[in-house]
């Protein structure tokens, strides 16, 4: 449930009279439901209908009387006149006990995504009753909550532990934590009631064959995002110096159709790191991470493979 009271009290502090609501796709209907209450409280409201995958993609233009209410994500950058309204999702704590047979250490790191960070103290308590010491990573610039990770930032997982319990849905975050820290990672999905050790081998096998394909390309498009929290122009320029035949591409949405239309034989992605990893099956050509392009260009070895993060 979105809390209208919470949003109204934060907006009141700004003194603005126009609200732009921005949500990820999964919450946009919930946002529609609260608009009458916001209007009733005396505000004019605009709902952003564009796709939004993170706080890296804030609505850009805000006039002097407008506050942006960004729902569902924590801040990844400092911006004025933006309110972040989290969407907390509880889970049954008992499900965490499913992870116990998979744990081999008594001291473990705990990580999760922003919608579950409020549950971490309770998870720590329940694991303590079973004899486990748990540690949370410190907040970072892009992950302001202890123990929080993002698909582009795993700093919240970097602690002096050999084993980490990731709580959440999907496999990407857990895989990223494993690759970023080198720790053994157990992924626990409290909704699916599943728990398993993460292995990077299938992922690395696919990326290795992609790098080999990319070596055959004669031109590379270096993608730079125009989204506020994804733009890495300095990195893109460094990458362009590694090869004589590169083209700088400025893009907001990186779609298979658009890359097909541009028609290059290979791309290097400096936008959201998950694009290169998750969406590769949808692209006609290899889309490499910056580190993978460095391997293609011979300035990084395969043994130095690293997951891409925005720091």
Q: Which residues bind ligand SF4 (CB under 6 A)?
A: 53-54, 56, 76, 150-152, 229-230, 272, 274, 310
Residue whose CB is less far from ligand SF4, 109 or 273: 273
Residue whose CB is less far from ligand SF4, 134 or 153: 153
Residue whose CB is less far from ligand SF4, 229 or 286: 229
Distance, CA of 230 to CA of 224 (rounded, Å) = 8
Residue whose CB is less far from ligand SF4, 76 or 187: 76
95 burial level (CB within 10 Å; 0-12, 13-18, 19+): middle
Q: How many CA atoms lie within 13 A of 184 on its CB side?
A: 11
250 forms bridges with which residues in the sheet? 224
182 contacts 157 by C-beta, under 8 angstroms: no
| Largest interatomic CA distance in the chain | 61
For Cα atoms 54, 273, 137, give the angle at the middle one, nearest 5 degrees.
Answer: 70
Residue whose CB is less far from ligand SF4, 150 or 210: 150
Task: Identify which of 82, 232, 53, 70 has the alpha carbon closest to the alpha carbon of residue 150.
Answer: 53
Shortest reach from residue 245's CB to ligand SF4, in Å:
27
Shortest reach from residue 152's CB to ligand SF4, in Å:
3
Shortest reach from residue 52's CB to ligand SF4, in Å:
9
Shortest reach from residue 129's CB to ligand SF4, in Å:
34
Shortest reach from residue 309's CB to ligand SF4, in Å:
9
């Amino acid at each position: 449930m979105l809390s209208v009271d919470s949003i109204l009290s934060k907006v009141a502090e700004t003194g603005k009279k126009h609200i732009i609501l921005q949500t990820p796709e999964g919450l946009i209907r919930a946002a529609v439901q609260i608009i009458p209450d916001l209007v009733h409280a005396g505000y004019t409201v605009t709902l952003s209908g564009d796709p939004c995958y993170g706080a890296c993609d804030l609505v850009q233009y805000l006039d002097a009387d407008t506050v942006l209410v960004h729902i569902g994500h924590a801040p990844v950058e400092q911006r004025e006149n933006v309110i972040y309204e989290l969407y907390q999702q509880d889970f049954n704590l008992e499900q965490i006990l499913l992870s116990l047979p998979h744990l081999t250490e008594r001291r473990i790191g705990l990580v999760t995504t922003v919608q579950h960070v409020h549950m971490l103290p309770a998870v720590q308590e329940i694991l303590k009753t079973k004899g486990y010491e748990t540690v949370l990573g410190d907040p970072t610039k892009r992950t302001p909550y202890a123990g929080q990770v993002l698909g582009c930032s795993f700093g919240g997982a970097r602690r002096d532990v050999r084993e980490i319990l990731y709580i959440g849905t999907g496999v990407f975050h857990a895989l990223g934590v494993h690759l970023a820290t080198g720790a053994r990672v157990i992924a626990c999905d409290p909704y699916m009631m599943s728990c398993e050790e993460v292995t990077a081998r299938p992922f690395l096998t696919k990326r290795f064959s992609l790098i080999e394909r990319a070596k055959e390309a004669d031109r590379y498009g270096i993608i730079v995002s125009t989204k506020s929290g994804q733009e890495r122009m300095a990195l893109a320029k460094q990458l362009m110096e590694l090869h004589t035949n590169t083209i700088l591409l400025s893009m907001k949405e990186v779609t298979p159709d658009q890359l097909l239309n541009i028609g290059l034989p290979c791309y290097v992605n400096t936008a959201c790191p998950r694009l290169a990893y998750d969406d590769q099956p949808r692209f006609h050509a290899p889309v490499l991470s910056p580190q993978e392009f460095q391997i293609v260009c011979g300035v990084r070895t395969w043994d130095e493979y690293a997951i891409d993060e925005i720091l």
